[in-house]
Homo-oligomer: A and B are copies of this chain.
Amino acid sequence: MKLITKAAITLGLSIAVVATAAFSASHVSKPQADSVKARQGQMQLIGYHTGILGAMAKGEAEYDAAKATSAAKNLNAAASFDRASLWLEGTEQGVADDNRAKAEIWTDAAGFDAKFMALQDASAAMIDAAGTDLDSLKVAMGDIGKACGACHDDYRGPKN
Contacts and interface: CB of A to CB of B under 8 A. Distances in A.
Nearest to A35: B48
Contacts of A70: 82, 84-85
B77 A48 contact: no
A153 to B, nearest CB: 23
A100 interface: no
A72 to B, nearest CB: 10
Main secondary structure of the interface of A (DSSP, over half): helix
Interface in A16-67: 31, 34-35, 37-38, 40-45, 47-49, 51-52, 55, 66-67
Interface of A: 1, 3-4, 7, 11, 31, 34-35, 37-38, 40-45, 47-49, 51-52, 55, 66-67, 70-71, 73-74, 77-78, 80-82, 84-86
15 contacts: A1-B3, A3-B4, A7-B7, A11-B11, A31-B52, A37-B44, A37-B48, A38-B48, A41-B41, A42-B45, A45-B81, A70-B84, A70-B85, A74-B81, A78-B81
